[in-house]
Structure 1
Amino acid sequence: MKRAAMVVNPIKIKDMRLLHREVEQVMRRHGWAAPVWHETTIEDPGFGQTQQAISDQVDLVVALGGDGTVRNVSTTLLGSGIPLAILPAGTGNLLARNLGLPIRNRKVALRAALAGRDRAIDTLFVEIDTTGDGVADESAICTVMTGCGLDAEIMASTSERLKARAGWLAYPIAGLRHINARRTPMRIALDDNDFEDERPLTTVLVGNCGRLTGGVRLMPDAEPDDGVLDVLELSAERASWAPLITQVLSASTRTTSQVRHRTAESIRIECEEPTRVEIDGEVHEHALAVRISIKPKSLVVRVPRSSKPS
């Protein structure tokens, strides 16, 4: 009999007993054994729990939480061959949205996972240099998107309280505080090419997936299993925000003086001054250089038999 492990962020759950009953009921109806339960903690937000699930040789690992929990579980599952299922319980739920997973109903999402198909998707390997000596002192796996500059500033200023009250609208609300943010001089090198001339940028976004909450297609051509990372460079000052936002919301990939879309297998970004970087919503401080590379089809995810991005 197949068995799953549940890796749950308890902060996202109002009634843990009810969750156990619901999940175990659905599992039984689909012919699965009762799952092994693991709860994340502040000290271990999902890594050790997932490693234990791998050691237990379960058939499926189910991540129940927000984008951070999903990323931590995904990081540990890389190379294990065990598929990841997602029960979304966060504000963005971006990987789930991009894979066409059920977002609003926990039981529906679990049934879809148990009866679904496996899909191998890419991940991004992010290395951060905070000292400027050319050696990465931080690294992480990214499943959806990494942002350098304004995007990370918005993430850093979006409180858990605001997210609880406003949902995904918390991010544009927080973004209004940064409307006067100055641009940061950055240099970019794609693949093995030399660095391009330095230019002042508001933000550089590197995506494995391209859809945000609210139906926004930030990177219209991005697919999570296409073997390339999508790069979006934005450069705007206060007076030019309106046309930039209009172009982004229209899902256009046209290059202008403010917007540039490109693809690559790797990217290097050098910042003139310490800059915040966000990786699937988790903020890292004081980056002077960032390197991001693609890891093709490195993560197996359970998706519905018929799934479309939401």
Structure 2
Amino acid sequence: MRKSILLLNRGSGGNDRGLKPDEVCATVTTAFREIGHRIESKIVAPEKINAALQEVVKIQPASLIIAGGDGTVSAAAKSLSGTGIPLGILPMGTFNLAARDLGVPLDIPGAATFLAKAEVHAIDVLEVAGRACLCTTILGFYPEFAKTFERRDHGGHWWKKAFKVITALPRTFAESRPIDLTWQGDGIEGRARTKFSAFVPGRYRATAGLVPARTDFTSGKLTAYIGRQRHAAAALRGMLDYIFGRQEENPELTMLQASSLELSARRRKHLSVMIDGEILRLALPLKLTILPRHLHVLTTAENLAPAK
């Protein structure tokens, strides 16, 4: 019987909340062994994650359990996409968006038990300039803003960071430089002056809450949410609409769906982009493409059911 592999990112934000790597590994090992699964644990430094992932692909384990934040999960998704190796997500980051989307409990014992018993399902992946996006790709003021507070407040609790975003939004939004964004793909094209745009594999659920939740994991489509708000007050109203699940009703939001899009920005050759929590400086034009059912994950059919 093939064994599973647990890779734990020693530099994940969860370590700042008192999650001890050795104890996390022991908890996962116990959960898997209790139902007859073999698993081997490896604690890896952040700079060695990609090399460790390459080794995992060579070994072809029964599954890979990745313990870390959304950036670590995105790296694992990129390495495992198209390989057929199932990916399980052990939430040790701040927001843990991918884990939430797949219904993984946020406490380590609960997550370990869930992953040990989960089924294998295939989901879409959004490829962004050769990188894998499982949750969301963001352009505009937020990547630069997030870069500042991440340097100061790495790790910690998700609700504290969410509160900082909300309270700092008016000033940060007002000071940010707008993007003259153009897009084309699937026979559609358009243009907007935007300070915040998000691109999601599938789409967001129209439900209340601070943390976004996705649906339509196998639709073969991405959804673009392009904000046209010019002023901080309008941006704050847009955020409140999102918090209360009314984002699709906002008159200053352009929504569209496509299997692929190419993004450009007038007078710009590069943009700061946040892909699943990782902030990058990427060249334009920027190509976004859905890879249908390209990644196998550990979850349940119920968690992947489309929103009604």
| Partner of residue 254, structure 1 | 249
1-side partners of 2:207 and 2:240: how far apart?
17
Residue in structure 2 matched with residue 149 of structure 1 by the alignment: 140
Q: Residue in 2 aligned with 1:90?
A: 93
2:94–2:157 contact (8 Å) kept in structure 1: no
Moved more, 242-251 or 81-90: 242-251
Q: TM-score, normalised by structure 2?
A: 0.84
Matched with 1:40 is 44
SS state at 1:159 partner: helix
CA offsets 1:87-140 (integer angstroms, 9 cap, x no match): 10101111111111111x21221111121111211001112xxxxxxxxxxx31
Indicate if the aligned counterparts of 1:207 and 1:219 stay in contact, CA closer than 8 A. Answer: no
Which residue of the partner structure matches residue 122 of structure 1? 124
* One-letter amino acid of the structure 2 residue matched with residue 233 of structure 1: I
The answer for unaligned runs of 5 or more in structure 1 is 128-138
TM-score, structure 1 as length reference: 0.84
* Structure with greater proportional helix content: 2
Q: Is residue 97–residue 211 contact of structure 1 (8 Å, CA) maintained in 2?
A: no
Alpha-carbon distance, 1:166 to partner: 4.6
Q: Distance in 2 between matches of 1:159 and 1:302?
A: 29
Instruction: Give the letter aligned to residue 94 of structure 1.
Output: L
Q: Counterparts in 2 of 1:195-210, with a 5 A limit?
A: 195-196=189-190, 198-208=191-201, 210=204
In structure 2, list runs of 5 or more residues that go unmatched.
none
How far the C-alpha of 1:279 sits from its partner, in A, is: 0.9
Q: SS of the counterpart of 2:115?
A: helix
Question: Quick check: 1:225–1:297 contact (8 Å CA) kept in 2?
Answer: yes
Match of 2:164? 173
In the other structure, the counterpart of 1:81 is: 84
In structure 2, what is the Cα distance between the partners aligned to 1:286 and 1:101?
31
Deviations 1:264-283 (A, max 9, x none): 11111111234211111111
Q: Which residue of 1 aligns with 2:299?
A: 303
Q: How does 1:44-83 map to 2 (within 5 A)?
A: 44=48, 46-83=49-86
Q: Secondary structure at the match of 1:11?
A: coil
| CA–CA distance in structure 1, aligned partners of residues 238 and 208 of structure 2 | 18
Match of 2:182 among 162, 166, 187: 187
Give the RMSD, CA atoms, in angstroms: 2.6
- For residues 154-189 of structure 1, give each alpha carbon's deviation from its aligned partner in whole angstroms, at most 9, with x where no partner exists: 322232542434534314514535131242211121
Q: What is the CA distance between 1:143 and its match in structure 2?
A: 1.0
Query: Structure 1 vs Structure 2: percent identity of aligned residues?
Result: 23
How many residue pairs match? The answer is 291
2:288 is equivalent to residue 292 of structure 1: yes
**Deviation at residue 204 of structure 1 after TM alignment:** 1.7
Q: Which digits, 9 at most, give the CA deviation of each residue in 1:194-216, with x for residues without a partner?
A: x42x4311122100152699834
Q: Paired residue for 1:19?
A: 24
2:4–2:64 CA contact under 8 A, matched in 1: yes
- What is the letter of the counterpart of residue 89 of structure 1? M
